[in-house]
DNA sequence: CGTCGTGTTGAACTCAGTCAAGCCAGGTGG
DNA sequence: CCACCTGGCTTGACTGAGTTCAACACGACG
């Protein structure tokens, strides 16, 4: 409870009224399809911040879509270090690959309190395959996911800590803005230093230093689980150095 | 020509006789389908080592499958540094995402002399979408691609140069072995130090040092565009540290 | 009011990068 | 046959970004 004093968690109702629907796999469906999707939904589940949503390699019977909150995909290496692959925002599927493979090669944890919609994996998979527009959409999402991974690899492989942190902030900003969840000059940022570190291949200590540097430079400021933007132009510039002009999230 | 004195390039004949067919997107198709795939093929193209195959953002009318040779996907950042995303081996598609998106967010170059099979993008896309098993297959390949990217990210983000190089070697070994292109204790490895460096987020100079160290430790030895394996157990051990037990290539 | 989770600071250290020089094999041309 | 180039690789000395370790600050919570 502690983590979300600020905001009441949304509980989803009928899929036809879903506010994040345009962001999901099901967004190409028209209203009639929404009713069918709703039929396929097996339930809704709340997960508390820090709790596990899926552990690497476990057999999957369900397909999960994040309805509210933040989560992240990661792998822990022998030795205890962790690599975070991506952060999940409302509307994201826990994993598209779940549709074609029974296990996933990463774990997923809730970063904030979360609500997920639960589907039967096989059923949904069958349903999607039977509807060509859904197949296209799923495919497209998958390739967007891949693009974000490419970008992340560029960051981690070829750019300074300063640039990486700025870039991650902008990635979050853009994805949130696309969901209407960002102000012009600030946005929610529930990640702790260790999350940032594990996503970018750094140590939490260095992440702390970089944030202070970014703040000293007037670029951005991390406060109260939000980021306040100080100098958007500079941020865009930092981002562009590794950028590719391809959208961070699905266009719709 | 200089680069491939060792070996004659294969020219593909009919898709029904294709030796790398089991590795491709089309592998689920039965013989009858092979004839149809052959019908869709628009031609065959040879590319010389170091030549470009596709440049980032160019509009795609074609869909390419690598028939023979090595290639790689990469992006060049302003400043001239390069990040290599993945290496392509015979049977790999230049990019699956080409089926759903008109441009790609990376370039592709030939690493050795190559031969590619050329299809009409839209036609092939339509054909695949009309055949459910092909859709599944494409999807599966896409998620394999993603798994390899995850692994690479783990390497670059969280492991030492020594481990990264060992891991890359093993990744190549496994993929080649799966194609029947590896000996028990050696395999082709046409990458130059800069390729290894740009794939792993290192400098060519440091890659050189690491190779010498690996050789001094009796782990492996790079010679004549091949890698000779000195201590497979040690290699597997190094690989396992970042591993996830998921196959590096498609199972079939 | 103590404890836990988080973030901050400083000092020492290290892995990998940078720069610069030189090596070697293969190819080319005189 | 030698001279010279070129591309790829190696070596050494130096630098520096980021890590490690350890101590401390601080707010939220129980």
pLDDT confidence bin for B250, thresholds 50/70/90? low
Least confident of B30-34, B113-117, B136-140: B30-34
Helix (H, G, I), strand (E, B) or coil at A53: strand
Contact B120, B39 (CB under 8 A): no
Q: Cα–Cα distance between A100 and B134 in angstroms, integer? A: 12
User: Which residue in this structure is represented by tokens 């230049």?
Assistant: B94
Q: Could you tell me the two tokens for A188? A: 């929610």
- A153: contact with B, CB 8 A cutoff: yes
Strand bridging mode B220-223 / B186-188: unpaired
B135 contact A CB<8A: yes
Cβ–Cβ under 8 Å, residues A85 and A156: no
Task: Give the model's confidence band at A186: pLDDT under 50 very low, under 70 low, under 90 confident, else very high.
Answer: very high
Confidence (pLDDT) at A9: 58
Distance of alpha carbon B101 from alpha carbon B59, whole angstroms: 9
Res A27: pLDDT: 76
CB B28 within 8 A of CB B137: yes
Encode burial over A186-199: b for 16+ CB neighbours within 10 A, e otherwise: bbbbbbebebbbbb
Confidence class for position A193, pLDDT limits 50, 70, 90:
very high
Q: What is the mean pLDDT of chain A?
A: 90
pLDDT in tens, A228-246: 999 999 999 999 876 676 7
Is it the case that residue B106 has pLDDT exceeding 60?
yes
Distance of CA A174 to the CA centre of its chain: 12
Q: What average pLDDT does range B65-91 have in this prediction?
A: 95
HSE-up of B70 (CA within 13 Å, CB side)?
19
The Cα of A100 is separated from the nearest Cα of chain B by a number of Å equal to 6
A97, A132, A244 member nearest B75 (Cβ): A244
Give chain B positions within 8 Å (CB) of A159.
77
CA of B206 to C1' of D23 (A): 36
pLDDT of residue B10: 61
Q: Is B150 on the interface with A (CB under 8 A)?
A: yes
**CA distance, residue B39 to nearest chain A CA (Å):** 23
Of residues B177, B235, B167, B237, the one with CA closest to residue B199: B167
Mean pLDDT on B56-75: 95
Q: Do B201 and A240 touch (CB under 8 A)?
A: no
Interatomic CA–C1' length for residue B209 and nucleotide D2, angstroms: 34
The answer on pLDDT for B246 being more than 80 is no
**Residue among A96, A147, A153 minimizing CB distance to B153:** A153
Q: Which of B77, B78, B146 lies closest to A97 in CB terms?
A: B146
In contact, B46 and B9? CB cutoff 8 Å: yes
Is the C-beta of residue B192 closer than 7 Å to nucleic acid chain D? yes
Kindly indicate the confidence band of residue A8, based on its pLDDT and cuts at 50, 70 and 90.
low
- What pLDDT, on a 0 to 100 scale, did the predictor assign at position B76? 95
Instruction: Kindly list the residues from chain A whose CB atom is less than 8 angstroms away from the CB atom of residue B79.
Output: 241
The answer, yes or no, to whether residue A55 has pLDDT greater than 90, is: yes
User: Can you say how many angstroms the Cα of residue A149 is from the centroid of all Cα atoms in its chain?
Assistant: 12
In this predicted structure, the answer to whether residue A252 has a pLDDT above a threshold of 60 is no
* Closest residue in chain B to residue A199, using alpha carbons only: B157
* pLDDT band, very low/low/confident/very high, at B1 (cuts 50, 70, 90): very low
Q: What is the pTM of this model?
A: 0.93
Contact flag, residue A158 CB and nucleic strand C, below 7 A: no
What distance in Å separates the CA atoms of residue A14 and residue A35, rounded to the nearest whole number? 8
CA of B181 to C1' of D7 (A): 27
Looking from the CA of A197 toward its CB, the CA atoms found within 13 Å total 14
Q: Pick B225 or B33 by higher pLDDT.
A: B225
Question: Which pLDDT band holds residue A123 (cuts at 50, 70, 90)?
Answer: very high
Q: Which nucleotide is nearest to B215 (CA to C1')?
A: D10
Mean pLDDT of A18-27: 79
Burial bucket for residue A79 (CB in 10 Å: 0-12, 13-18, 19+) = exposed
Q: Where are the alpha helices (DSSP H) in A117-230?
A: 121-129, 132-158, 161-178, 193-200, 204-216
Which of helix, strand or coil describes residue A101? coil
B4 within 8 A of B234, measured Cβ to Cβ: no
Residue A221 has pLDDT above 80, yes or no: yes
B206 Cβ nearer than 7 Å to chain C strand: yes
CA dist., res. A182 & res. A174, Å (int): 8
Q: Which residues of A234-244 are buried (b: 16+ CB within 10 A; e: fewer)?
A: bbeebbebbbb
Q: Is B102 on the interface with A (CB under 8 A)?
A: no
How many whole angstroms separate alpha carbon A200 and alpha carbon A165?
A: 8
> Which residue reads 């527009």 in tokens?
A133
Is the pLDDT assigned to residue B29 strictly greater than 70? no
From chain B, the residues in CB contact with A77 under 8 A are 154, 158-159, 241-242
pLDDT at B31: 54
pLDDT for A1 equals 39
Q: Take residue A26 and report the two structure tokens written for it.
A: 């099901």
Q: Is the minimum distance from the CB of A193 to strand C below 7 Å? A: yes
Is the pLDDT assigned to residue A136 strictly greater than 60?
Answer: yes
Average per-residue pLDDT in chain B?
89
Average pLDDT rounded to a whole number, residues B200-218: 97
Cβ distance of A139 and B79 shorter than 8 Å: no
Strand partners, A117: A44, A65
Give me the pLDDT at residue A32, please. 60
B80 close contact with A: CB closer than 8 A: no
Is B5's pLDDT higher than 50? no
Q: Report the distance separating Cα A154 and Cα A76, nearest Å.
A: 21
Spatial contact of B39 and B108, defined as CB atoms under 8 Å apart: no
Confidence of residue A249 (pLDDT cuts 50, 70, 90): confident
When pLDDT is cut at 50, 70 and 90, the band that residue A2 belongs to is: very low
pLDDT at A7: 53
More reliable by pLDDT, B134 or B217: B217
Q: Is A10 on the interface with B (CB under 8 A)?
A: no
Preferred mutation among B58, B98, B126, B143 to probe A, highest tally of A CBs within 10 A: B143
Q: What is the pLDDT of residues B157-172, one digit of tens each?
A: 999 999 999 999 999 9
B97 interfacial to chain A (CB closer than 8 Å): yes
- Residue B21 pLDDT greater than 90, yes or no: no
Which has more confidence, B136 or B165? Answer: B165
User: Is it the case that residue A224 has pLDDT exceeding 60?
Assistant: yes
Under 8 Å between Cβ of B200 and B161: yes
Confidence of residue A6 (pLDDT cuts 50, 70, 90): very low
Return the structure tokens found at B67.
């028939």
Q: Could you tell me if B240 lies within 8 Å of chain A, comparing CB atoms?
A: yes
Contact A146 B241 (CB under 8 A): no
pLDDT of A155-169, one tens digit each? 999 999 999 999 999
How large is the angle between the packed helices A161-178 and A132-158, nearest 10 degrees?
A: 160
Q: Do A158 and B57 touch (CB under 8 A)?
A: no
Contacts of A81 in chain B (CB under 8 A): 158
Q: Averaged over A4-13, what is the pLDDT?
A: 58
Residue whose C-alpha is closest to residue A106's, from B153, B86, B209, B50:
B153
pLDDT exceeds 70 at position A190: yes
Percent of residues, chain A, with pLDDT higher than 70: 92
Q: Which string of b and e fits B195-208 if b means at least 16 CB within 10 Å?
A: bbbbbbbbeeeebe
Residue–nucleotide distance: B161 CA to C14 C1' (Å) = 13
The CA distance from A48 to A59, in Å, is: 22
CA distances in angstroms from A77 to A194, A197, B144, B165, listed in the order given? 15, 15, 20, 17
HSE-CB for A37 with a 13 A CA cutoff: 26
Give the pLDDT of residue A174: 96
Question: In whole angstroms, how far apart are CA B249 and each of A59, B68, B92, B219, B246?
Answer: 20, 17, 10, 23, 9
Handedness of CA B200, B201, B206, B210 (dihedral sign): negative
Per-residue pLDDT at B98: 93
């Amino acid at each position: 409870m502690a983590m979300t004093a600020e905001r009441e968690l949304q509980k989803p109702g009928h899929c036809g009224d879903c506010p994040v629907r345009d962001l999901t796999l099901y967004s190409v469906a028209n209203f009639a399809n929404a009713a069918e999707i709703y039929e396929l939904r097996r339930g809704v589940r709340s997960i508390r911040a820090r709790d596990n949503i899926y552990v690497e390699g476990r057999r999957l019977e369900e397909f999960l879509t994040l309805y509210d909150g933040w989560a992240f995909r990661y792998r822990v290496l022998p030795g205890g270090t962790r690599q975070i692959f991506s952060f999940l925002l409302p509307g994201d599927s826990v994993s598209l690959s779940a549709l074609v493979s029974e296990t996933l090669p990463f774990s997923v944890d809730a970063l904030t309190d979360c609500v997920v919609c639960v589907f039967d994996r096989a059923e949904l998979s069958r349903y999607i395959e039977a509807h060509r527009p859904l197949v296209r959409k799923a495919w497209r999402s998958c390739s967007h996911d891949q693009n974000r991974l490419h970008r992340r690899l560029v960051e981690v492989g070829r750019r300074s800590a300063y640039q990486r942190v700025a870039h991650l902030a902008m990635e979050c900003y853009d994805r949130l803005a696309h969901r209407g969840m960002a102000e012009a000059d600030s946005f929610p940022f529930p990640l702790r230093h260790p999350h940032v570190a594990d996503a970018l291949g750094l140590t939490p200590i260095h992440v702390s230093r970089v944030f202070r540097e970014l703040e000293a430079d007037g670029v951005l400021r991390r406060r109260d689980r939000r980021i306040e933007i100080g100098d958007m132009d500079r941020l865009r510039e930092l981002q562009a150095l590794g950028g590719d002009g391809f959208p961070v999230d699905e266009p719709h």
